[in-house]
Amino acid sequence: MKKILSLVLAAATCAGLLAGCGSGGGSESSAPQSSAAPASEASSEAGGTESGGELNIFTWDGYFPQDVLDGYTEQFGVKINMSNFESNEEMLTKLEAANAGDYDVIVASDYIIDIMRRKGGLLKELDKEKIPNFKNIDPNFQSQFYDPENLYTVPYGPGTPLIVYDPSLVNVDIKGYNDLWNPELKDSVVIMDDARNVIGITLKTMGKSFNETDPAVLDEAKAKLMELKPNIRTLAMNNLQDVILSGEASVGYMFTAQVVMALQANPELKVVYPEEGMGFGIDNLIVPLNAPHEDNAFSFINYILEPEVGAKVSSQIMYLCPNKESAPYLPEEYKNNAALYIPSDVLGNTEFIQDVGEATELYDKIWTEFKQQ
């Protein structure tokens, strides 16, 4: 939409050039020149389908530490090409059009992998002979709904959204989601801009599941959610920690990495494991069915599962560590972080957010209404 505006900008520059001096661009006729060079470069790039010394990774930016990537390249002589997406949905749209090819390793979230598995024809079964380190995976993060038999996935970034607050600004003793409704927190809560998570915690306060589909229950949840509105300072997807650190809000419900960053910047902040039960999510490594460099994909996954490498990854991307052999290599700072080292008896009763089928539409409607002022 903003494009229509830019036309006017063009007009402006045009007028500016004219007004500035009548003889403006006499020599500009040579503008269209360098069109041939990039085309040839592109064709050489496009031809890289045969298995060779390359690996195409598809993920969010910054989700693999640079030293880990460099380490792999050094050891195996494989050139890594990184490309990025902003959301799981974008990734799947893209992968379908590429006929489940083009990419070798993708990092994606649990629910989208579930959809991919149910759709069929998108995921490649992992060749565990080529991934001897598969045994290093902590079974707590395996056999989940999206891959019950552990055929397609290797857990990479498990995390649980948590409540974090600034005790110097909050007089409420926050124990769970329900405390976010406390009238004392008027206009001071920051929460992720995501329908399923926010409606999910509302359902949790009612003793229901994150994945409720009963319209009557969802209607009740809607009524309750509307009561949360006066407390909401802002909804956001990125840099939620900054909202707390800048004093804009005093309580937040946010994703693991954001909680960790908030704690690193201000150790005085308090982390809450919500008593109603925590949500949980795992981003996994997967290999698409028609990956062009399959062997490199498996060797890369195997490399990531090395105990030392796994420790490097988890401590830098700030998610829980799914590698049970990595413990000795994890830095103290990581182990002392309340958002990362969650007592297992607390972590026990977590729940994944899963696809709710028909009810998706209801969730969207509730969310649209909630976000209207």
Query: Interface with another protein by CB under 8 A: which range of 53-61, 295-303, 325-333, 345-353?
Result: 53-61
Structural tokens at position 252: 């937040």
Residue from 123, 236, 289, 330 that binds another protein (CB under 8 A)? Answer: 236
Does residue 171 interact with another protein by CB under 8 A? no
253 assigned ligand-binding residue: no
Question: Nearest distance from residue 345's CB to another protein, in Å?
Answer: 29
Task: Rule CB under 8 A: say whether 170 interacts with another protein.
Answer: no
Identity of residue 162: L
Contact between 39 and another protein per CB under 8 A: yes
Q: How far from 62 is each of 58, 65, 105, 108, 215, CA to CA, in Å?
A: 11, 7, 15, 14, 39
Minimum CB separation of residue 336 from another protein in Å reads 20
Q: How far is the CB of 73 from another protein (least distance, A)?
A: 11
| CA dist., res. 259 & res. 245, Å (int) | 11
**Residue found by looking up tokens 């309750």 in the block:** 224
Residue 361 lies near another protein (rule: CB under 8 A): yes
- What letter would DSSP give residue 125? P
Q: Which is nearer to another protein, 99 or 349 (CB)?
A: 99
Q: Which of 52, 53, 67, 83 binds another protein (CB under 8 A)?
A: 83
Q: Which residues pair with 54 in a beta bridge?
A: 79
Among 31, 50, 171, 345, binds another protein (CB under 8 A): 31
Q: Which of 48, 128, 220, 352 binds another protein (CB under 8 A)?
A: 48
Structure tokens at 45: 């790039």
CB of 143 to another protein, least distance (A): 22
Whether the CA torsion 70, 86, 317, 238 is positive or negative: it is positive
The two tokens of residue 141 are 């993060």
The CA distance from 98 to 92, in Å, is: 10
Question: 227 phi and psi, to 5 degrees?
Answer: -70, -20
One character per residue 119-148, x = contact with another protein (rule: CB under 8 A): x-----------------------------
DSSP-based three-state secondary structure for 328: helix
Size (the chain), residues = 373
Q: Residue 244 burial by CB count (10 A; 0-12/13-18/19+): exposed, middle or buried? A: buried
Q: Which of 72, 124, 146, 233 forms a contact with another protein (CB under 8 A)?
A: 233
Which residues in the 251-310 window bind another protein by CB under 8 A?
Answer: 257-258, 261, 265
Q: Within 11-30, which residues bind another protein (CB under 8 A)? A: 11-26, 28-29
Q: Note whether 363 binds another protein by CB under 8 A.
A: yes
- Comparing CB distances to another protein, the nearer of 164 and 325 is 164
Contact call for residue 186 and another protein (CB under 8 A): no
Answer for which of 68, 78, 92, 254 binds another protein (CB under 8 A) is 92
Residue 21 or 216: which CB sits closer to another protein?
Answer: 21
Least separation in angstroms between residue 331's CB and another protein is 18
Would you state the structure tokens that stand for residue 373, as one six-digit string?
A: 């002022």
Q: Read off the tokens for 217.
A: 């229950």
Query: How many chain residues interact with another protein (CB under 8 A)?
Result: 108
Structure tokens of 95?
């992968």
Task: Provide the 3-class DSSP secondary structure of residue 79.
Answer: strand
Tell me, letter by letter, the H, E, C secondary structure of 167-180.
Answer: CCCCCCCCCCHHHH
Bind-site residues for spermidine: 111
